[in-house]
Structure 1
Amino acid sequence: MLRNNVTNMNISGAIGDILTANEVNWVQTVLEKNPGLFDAFTDPEHNDLAKTMWHGEFPGKILSGLAQTYLLNNDPKTKEVGDQIVARLKEAQQEDGYLGPWAEAVRFNKDVLSDPENNWGKWDTWGQYHCIYGLCRWYQITGNKDALEVASRALDCIYNYFIAGGNTFASQNWAECNFSISHAFALMYEQTGKQEYLEAAEYIVNEEWKIPYRDFYTKTMLACDWLTGVEKNLAFYEMGQPRWEGLHTLETLAVLYRVTGKEVYGNAMESLWWGIIEHDRHNTGSFGTGEGANGDPYGDGSETCNIVAWTSFTIDYLKMSKNSYVADELELSFYNASLGTLLENDREFTYMNLSSGTREPALIVLEGHSFEGGRDMSCCQANGNRGITQIAEWALLTDSDGLYLNYYGASDIKTATASGNTVSLRQETEYPKYGDVKITVTPAESEEFSLKLRIPAWAENTAVSVNGEACQGVQAGQYYEIRRTWNPGDVITLQIDMQLHFWMTETGTAKVSAYYGPLLLAFQNNESLRPTTKFTISELKNAVMKDEDDCLAAFTCKTNTGKDVTLMDYYSAGKDGSSFVTWLSSFRELETISFDKEGTPIWNNK
């Protein structure tokens, strides 16, 4: 199993500029501009705030993003905000440990029990899951002991009411959301060693997932029953409940596999992940159409929260599988779907991230989520920063044998080997604009370990050298392992093959998505360029890079009628609200690649 020992990415370059701007404009101002964020938590019995069913999630989502943001550059201002959130949650926590915004008479499942025919319930344990997750991660990264104490007391309150008290989590309804507390139980078992937490996590996965509940969307009784779906070899979209929220409780499988070694959990995780890749991963790297899986990888649009949950689920699977292609998928999601949620002002996030169209701020589309003293609050605005900073969770991972480098980009990442030896990997590069990467390895003490470099599946002709000596046997789609005694100042150089590659639609009108390395390319609509504008593959292959300062990468190419057009990276194409297109009308000049788990990825057609 891989673990994240990173303490500071020291991220810089173009990506560092983007993430730092969001840190300054959103993260470090969120409490100042939303002074009522904790009001419903502090006095759940006597407040008349307009609350959505998921009101309790907002502080936790923000703190989860703050924890990752702090790993980017260890900015003390960000730590101050995170510590303030912990202090406010500690102050607001009720005597019995309850950490939500709901009055005693309606907390947990009590509103449903009082009127089961007419009351759909709410997302109480869902909201507390996000708070507990954020508190746990903040403790792990900063050592803030109050965070762990608040998280433990909240989880004990939930355990006492549901497990010890004989109430089912499914009785709250919205089980695809409320079951997510299983992930908190599993993670907190790993952190504290409390056996009852492990037992609760396994109980939810093995028993509660099977319990039918009243589903709001279908107006029927259904059971999530994902493990049975795996046994029947179903894809996620074919199962009882395919909404995006379910991915958070499904993350429990990875933790349970890690702590128990039971193959049923690992096999389920693998089956679910590959099923989503085959049927529901879009060209941007996002998951699902709208707010869930429907079996259509060409569906247009995924909610920002979908992307965050999918990335988190994929990080878990990467740590379990050690499969470099999973890291390729994380890179695809980061540069396109995740960055694409951030708008031009570096503060606001979008609700729905389309493959083609325009991006609208969540603050406008989801304005109904907000409340007095929390006008910035919506599910996607609170979650967006977590999405764009999730690279801190997969950039550089550790196992008992060494390090796995997954993220390429200007940075100076600090981590530790399994022995506890601190190591710095300083990257000098303009990746993903260019493929040249220089990595200087600086261990605190010379040590023999393996450094595994991710060679992307699309980068067939990548070259690697160590201290000027060329390495042999570099293969795309695998980790390239360099095992040696590493000394301060050792230098690795990579020339990553950045040639264009494509995803050709399988049926219907011929359309193609073009990729430069991990970057999905798009053009902006105008009076002379319409979504129906056609391109030939040969002209796309002849695209010439432009020197554009406001893009991660941009190219000039011609349409099939000879018009000049600028193709730019997906993030840059839509951040200012411009209408854009990523599925380019084309001709069937390439043979379609069908999904094959062991074969060439469908987006690596050349």
Structure 2
Amino acid sequence: MTAYRDTFQFLPSGAVTLKGPLGTALEKSIENRLKKVNYANLVRPFRLRDENDNGWRCEFWGKVVRSAIRSWRCTRDPELLRIIRETVDDLCSTQTPDGCISTYPEALHTTHWDIWGRKYAMLGLARYYHEIEPSEKIREVLRRCLDHLIGEVGPGARRIVDCGMHGGLAASSILGAVIQAARITGEKRFLDYARWIVEQGGSADGNIFTAAGNGTPPARLGNGKAYEMTSCFEGLLEYYRETGNPAFLEEAAAYYRGVRDREIFITGGGGLKDRVGEFWDEGTLRQTHADAGGFGETCITVTWLRFCSLILRITGDSSAVDEMERSFYNALLGAALPDASCWAHVNPTPLAGASCRKPADDQILHCFQKPFDGHDCCLAQGPEGLATAPCTAILRDERGPVVNLYEACEAAVPLTPDSYVKLSITGNYPDDPEVSITLAMDSEKTFALRLRIPAWSRNTAVRVNGKPIQARPGTYLTLERTWKNGDRIDIAFDFSLRVLPAPDGCGRVALMRGPILLAQDSRLGEVDRAIRPGDSVIVETTSVPDIRRIYRLADGSLLCDYASAGNRFSEDNTLCVWMKTIPR
């Protein structure tokens, strides 16, 4: 049914195994979080239809199961697969004869978070269909589920922008799930329903799609709710894939540029304004302010990663990977406990001053005084962010492999239905600049190998079997030739210390080395002290438990990678990102 073929495609499940910080965190996430969830308790509200307090228990099943399926895709873990199959069967058994799958009683259908929750249930089932088993049962469940919704919210019934939370943004974000159902069932009327949603513009406060295309900043789209809004634009990109209408792509691309340039923090996260960091509000400029609310809801980080992944695969724009890489190694890893058993909801606030990390608590208990197994939206979705990394690390196009991330990994990339090439990436990236890529194949093969050259790496040295090749930052370097078994590519990225002034001109600076943000940590010295950065850093040989890498500045100050900073998740372990400076 899809009208548009992406520029880049995912590799088959299990084709990429990451062996660096992201791969390690993914393994811990599976063992310490995803295998320990009480999935029956997530299904229970769908069976009882007793969510009568306007809550969002309805979202947790879909979020956790999507995280589990994507994690299984990367690892093929048999125990995780068994868990997924059982909980999918359990959820399907809650569908009533009218086709409904919901946690809300009938009298409250389409109010508050009901459609939002149905969206996540549908997305979880759709991912199961695409990644694990294209079963007729799932196809029929999705068809009946969407038919039921159309009877409640659709042409001749209620407008979707008049439903649910945040001026219709939450309800309208079901667009992506509707398109998934259309693909799976082949029902054209579901695409017609998707068009009906798009034409309403996502918000009762105005059409966010056309406004973004006309240059309206993200903070002024709808009510500015970042996560729900980005989910709507994910749906718009899926609709573009079905229609090929370039206007939809340009609107989504304009939104991507607006968020990238105006809302994303130096950490690669975003979201501020309220106490838990859930709105767009000129975050790039205001990230050093002390009165800008909480910073960086982890759900926003994960949704931003998914959205960038779509932009990348559809357009081939390497800047999307630059954004993802920064988010992966800083905001995302920093939001997880070292054992990946829990995640932060709001992230360190302020970034300019001493702050600490806090694990998410039981959201439903906190808001409604009713415990719900400790679940939080970011705890449910953080693991999906980790599982997005292997999916993106190496892609392919019609000419050959596309290398996006450089942490140690093994990958098998199909070239034709009958042949493939194995890529082995070695090195200590992202902490060290040198990596090597070795190719293994059963015979000589001619294809193009694309290598992302990050925009921040101003001088990148690339050698193919010892021969230097010129590389330009912010692009893909395409190496097209006849490759032999054992061919080797050596890359040295530019890890020069980058001293970045605060966007608001307050005089503070942030320091980056390669894709890694550096930060002060109270285990290494006084936090929020003034520094004299100098032109380089020295890698320390001493170690501190749970700190991946320690760096010494020219003035003797010790810093560490942002993901390690404050990772005791306690009030006595503080960090600082935007640092004061000592005048030269």
2:41 is the counterpart of 1:41 = no
| Equivalent residue in structure 1 for 2:472, among 472, 475, 485 | 475
- The equivalent of 1:316 in structure 2 is 310
**C-alpha distance 507-74 of structure 1, shift in aligned 2 (>3 A):** same
Q: Helix, strand or coil: the match of 1:541?
A: coil
**C-alpha distance 469-534 of structure 1, shift in aligned 2 (>3 A):** same
Partner Cα distance (1:203, 1:541) in 2 = 55
Per-residue CA deviation, residues 264-295 of structure 1 (Å, 9 max, x unaligned), is 11110111111111111101001222101111
Partner Cα distance (1:528, 1:437) in 2 = 32
2:194 is the counterpart of 1:204 = no
Map residues 515-554 of structure 1 onto 2, 5 A cutoff: 515-525=512-522, 529-531=526-528, 533-538=529-534, 541-546=536-541, 548=543, 550-554=546-550
- The equivalent of 1:585 in structure 2 is 580
Partner Cα distance (1:480, 1:572) in 2 = 32
- AA in 2 matched with 1:348: C
2:106 is the counterpart of 1:130 = no
Is the CA contact 1:251–1:313 (under 8 Å) kept in the aligned structure 2? yes
Q: Is the deviation greater in 254-263 or in 58-67?
A: 254-263
- AA in 2 matched with 1:272: Y
- AA in 2 matched with 1:187: Q
Is the CA contact 2:362–2:376 (under 8 Å) kept in the aligned structure 1? no
- The equivalent of 2:36 in structure 1 is 29
Partner Cα distance (1:125, 1:36) in 2 = 20
- The equivalent of 2:290 in structure 1 is none
Q: Helix, strand or coil: the match of 1:251?
A: helix
The offset of 1:522, in angstroms, is: 0.7
Q: Helix, strand or coil: the match of 2:358?
A: coil
Q: Helix, strand or coil: the match of 2:106?
A: coil
- AA in 2 matched with 1:454: R
- The equivalent of 1:63 in structure 2 is 65
Is the CA contact 1:224–1:241 (under 8 Å) kept in the aligned structure 2? no
The offset of 1:96, in angstroms, is: 2.4
- The equivalent of 1:358 in structure 2 is 356
The offset of 1:372, in angstroms, is: 7.1
| Equivalent residue in structure 2 for 1:155, among 146, 155, 158 | 146
| Equivalent residue in structure 2 for 1:95, among 87, 97, 107 | 97
Is the CA contact 1:447–1:486 (under 8 Å) kept in the aligned structure 2? yes
Partner Cα distance (1:417, 1:499) in 2 = 36
Map residues 164-243 of structure 1 onto 2, 5 A cutoff: 166-174=157-165, 175-209=168-202, 212=204, 223-243=205-225
- The equivalent of 2:553 in structure 1 is 557
**C-alpha distance 528-382 of structure 1, shift in aligned 2 (>3 A):** closer
Q: Helix, strand or coil: the match of 1:209?
A: coil
Map residues 43-442 of structure 1 onto 2, 5 A cutoff: 43-44=48-49, 47=50, 53-108=55-110, 121-143=111-133, 145=135, 146-163=137-154, 166-174=157-165, 175-209=168-202, 212=204, 223-244=205-226, 245-289=228-272, 290-297=277-284, 298-299=286-287, 301-354=295-348, 356=351, 357-363=355-361, 367-368=365-366, 374-417=372-415, 421-442=419-440
The offset of 1:136, in angstroms, is: 1.5
2:581 is the counterpart of 1:575 = no
Partner Cα distance (1:376, 1:95) in 2 = 32
- The equivalent of 2:291 in structure 1 is none
The unaligned stretches of length 5 or more in structure 1 are 109-120, 213-222, 590-606
Partner Cα distance (1:435, 1:149) in 2 = 50
**C-alpha distance 491-231 of structure 1, shift in aligned 2 (>3 A):** closer
Q: Helix, strand or coil: the match of 1:99?
A: coil
Per-residue CA deviation, residues 570-598 of structure 1 (Å, 9 max, x unaligned), is 11112212210011112688xxxxxxxxx
| Equivalent residue in structure 1 for 2:452, among 454, 459, 464 | 454
Partner Cα distance (1:273, 1:541) in 2 = 33
The unaligned stretches of length 5 or more in structure 2 are 1-5, 288-293
- AA in 2 matched with 1:325: S
2:29 is the counterpart of 1:19 = no
Q: Helix, strand or coil: the match of 2:282?
A: coil
Is the CA contact 2:174–2:235 (under 8 Å) kept in the aligned structure 1? no
**C-alpha distance 129-326 of structure 1, shift in aligned 2 (>3 A):** same
- The equivalent of 1:215 in structure 2 is none
The offset of 1:327, in angstroms, is: 0.4
The offset of 1:71, in angstroms, is: 2.5
Is the CA contact 1:247–1:309 (under 8 Å) kept in the aligned structure 2? yes
TM-score by length of 1: 0.85
- The equivalent of 2:10 in structure 1 is 4
Per-residue CA deviation, residues 425-457 of structure 1 (Å, 9 max, x unaligned), is 222221112122222334577543321111111
Is the CA contact 1:399–1:417 (under 8 Å) kept in the aligned structure 2? no
Per-residue CA deviation, residues 118-156 of structure 1 (Å, 9 max, x unaligned), is xxx311111111122222222222225244443343233
The offset of 1:189, in angstroms, is: 3.0
- The equivalent of 1:600 in structure 2 is none
- AA in 2 matched with 1:136: A
TM-score by length of 2: 0.88
- AA in 1 matched with 2:282: G
Is the CA contact 2:500–2:509 (under 8 Å) kept in the aligned structure 1? yes
Is the CA contact 2:122–2:177 (under 8 Å) kept in the aligned structure 1? yes
- AA in 2 matched with 1:535: I
Q: Helix, strand or coil: the match of 1:572?
A: coil
- AA in 1 matched with 2:11: N
The offset of 1:369, in angstroms, is: 5.8
Partner Cα distance (2:380, 2:441) in 1 = 37
- AA in 2 matched with 1:541: S
Per-residue CA deviation, residues 159-193 of structure 1 (Å, 9 max, x unaligned), is 34323652221232321111111111223334443
**C-alpha distance 224-395 of structure 1, shift in aligned 2 (>3 A):** farther
- AA in 2 matched with 1:107: H
Equivalent pairs counted in the alignment come to 554
Is the CA contact 1:435–1:495 (under 8 Å) kept in the aligned structure 2? yes
Partner Cα distance (1:534, 1:420) in 2 = 60
Partner Cα distance (1:201, 1:440) in 2 = 45
Per-residue CA deviation, residues 224-276 of structure 1 (Å, 9 max, x unaligned), is 41123134321111223321211111112222222222111111011111111
- AA in 1 matched with 2:83: V
Is the CA contact 1:522–1:570 (under 8 Å) kept in the aligned structure 2? yes
Per-residue CA deviation, residues 526-552 of structure 1 (Å, 9 max, x unaligned), is 796131x111231x6244344537333
